[in-house]
Structure 1
């Protein structure tokens, strides 16, 4: 199996690097200065034990690679970029006949819960990947994954549910590549739990590191509101005990010397000044479900709105104090309370 990593940033670059180091064929898909760095120098991948130079081939898109029947597509772009990526890759021909959408498996190694639904419109075989893996991509050509003994936990399963031989083969390859990769029949149950944890990403992006009690309280409010909305919607999600049992002692942060420890994916988007942020598909998912089920979600609505402004105006992380953000959220919560 050859792995086409669509979006070789923090998550995709780490998955691609580890697969390559384990002897698997990998193609890295990137754009802009990151692609240029990968093309000219390869991917520089830093882990707790060492720094590796990954000479895997790099391309900018589907026009630059000939797809074969044994290829596996790994979608690792931010959700706001998924539609364009799916549109580009699904119609590409595969050697022997048919298109990628008809013949190839597609894994969604992304935050949020919308990507799999988007993918299923284009691909017959879609798989979810719940990513528990602190990784950082702040400079072109550089990716760092500071965890051990496993680089990360990638719970995998067929979408919307179940498992098959393909995902079991993928999981075996990931296990050979320093990941813990349990095959689960209910992968979205795990991804909804990860969604709850990701709701605090916007707080970190807006206010900076969650070191103050006030910032941590905002993150807790966002998560509590998210749980209430999922429960009202009847959506199952793993609880804290299940998550802790899976992660305990398996993914511990051990930063390498000289490598900056980055924040969440949303924090990294603002740090790189990309102009976009995935809050619409994290906090915005809770807002959407809340509106569908009549549950106000003022905390996540405010976080999503302010994070979007920060991204569009290319503000650096920490551009607003926790106190100022709390005041905005309290005002929104007050106006949404039934009288």
Structure 2
């Protein structure tokens, strides 16, 4: 089995690098300066206990990868780039006949809860992955993954949930991940875990626009954003593990560490602004709560403001932390009328 990692950013490069290090055939797919650095110098992957230089094969477009029937496509682009990535890969030919969409499984290793349905419009076989993997990508060719003793916890499951035992392909993927430094549980419904992760991701936009989430104003906004999310999921009848269950399954397995000379500065949305990526995931995180709130009649002013402000930051090329939590609270007050 070969893993084709579509989107070799913080998450994709860490998964691909650790698979490659463990002896699993892997191809990273990247763009621009990141692709050039990976091609010329390999992947520089820093873990808490060591720094690795990994000559992982890399490609910069689908046509550069001759797809095989034993390939697994791991989609790890940001959610706003999902459609373009799927359009580029779905109809690529596979050796022996057929296309990627008809022959190969795709694993959505992404935040948000909407990517799997988008993938299922094109691919016959879709797996969801709930990603708990503290990592950062700020410099071309270099990724820092800060958790130990395991690099991450990656819940996996068929989409939609098929019930019963996991299929052989899914079990093989999980086994490969587990001998590459990850926990890879196989829950009956992986989307329940992804909805739980969605609630945790509602602070991503807040951190991106205001900086580290601390102080009364920022912590208050974070609590309100999550409370809105909980209310919306309850109204929609969407069950999910609670924070205590999430903490229990990760306890002692995936713990962020301080790495000398590599301070962790911010999460994925913060990193998007820091790199000047020009887009951010807020539409698929806070925006998912806004959508469900509007659908089920639940007001979500904090998430609505976070979505709008984060999108504006990305469009205008603003740097992380350029808005105070106090000002953000005022914007929420203006929207909510209270």
What are the within-5 Å matches in structure 2 for residues 175-194 of structure 1?
A: 175-194=178-197
What are the within-5 Å matches in structure 2 for residues 224-303 of structure 1?
A: 224-303=227-306
Q: TM-score, normalised by structure 2?
A: 0.98
What is the alpha-carbon distance in structure 2 between the residues aligned to residue 255 and residue 181 of structure 1?
24
The answer to whether the Cα contact below 8 Å between 1:35 and 1:141 also exists between their aligned partners in 2 is: yes
Partner of 1:65: 65
Partner of 2:5: 5
1:159 aligns with 2:159: yes
CA shift for structure 1 position 263 = 1.1
- Deviation sequence 1:71-129 (CA, Å, 0-9, x none): 00000000110000000100001111110000101000000001101100110000000
Q: Give 3-state SS (helix, strand or coil) of 1:137's partner.
A: strand
CA shift for structure 1 position 170 = 0.2
Q: Give 3-state SS (helix, strand or coil) of 1:177's partner.
A: coil
Partner of 1:316: 319
Q: Give 3-state SS (helix, strand or coil) of 2:337's partner.
A: helix
Q: Give 3-state SS (helix, strand or coil) of 1:318's partner.
A: coil
Partner of 1:108: 108
Q: Give 3-state SS (helix, strand or coil) of 1:205's partner.
A: helix
CA shift for structure 1 position 214 = 1.6
CA shift for structure 1 position 261 = 0.8
Q: TM-score, normalised by structure 1?
A: 0.97
What are the within-5 Å matches in structure 2 for residues 189-208 of structure 1?
A: 189-208=192-211
CA shift for structure 1 position 203 = 0.5
What is the alpha-carbon distance in structure 2 between the residues aligned to residue 213 and residue 143 of structure 1?
32
What is the alpha-carbon distance in structure 2 between the residues aligned to residue 96 and residue 35 of structure 1?
29
Partner of 1:28: 28
Task: Give unpaired runs (5+ residues) of structure 2.
Answer: none
Superposed CA RMSD = 0.9
The answer to whether the Cα contact below 8 Å between 1:232 and 1:293 also exists between their aligned partners in 2 is: yes
Larger deviation: 26-35 or 242-251?
A: 242-251
CA shift for structure 1 position 213 = 2.5
Q: Name the count of aligned residue pairs.
A: 335
The answer to whether the Cα contact below 8 Å between 1:135 and 1:262 also exists between their aligned partners in 2 is: no
CA shift for structure 1 position 260 = 2.6
CA shift for structure 1 position 146 = 0.7
- Runs (4 or more) in structure 1 with deviation over 2 Å come to none
What is the alpha-carbon distance in structure 2 between the residues aligned to residue 115 and residue 158 of structure 1?
13
Partner of 1:46: 46
Q: Give 3-state SS (helix, strand or coil) of 2:96's partner.
A: coil
Partner of 1:222: 225
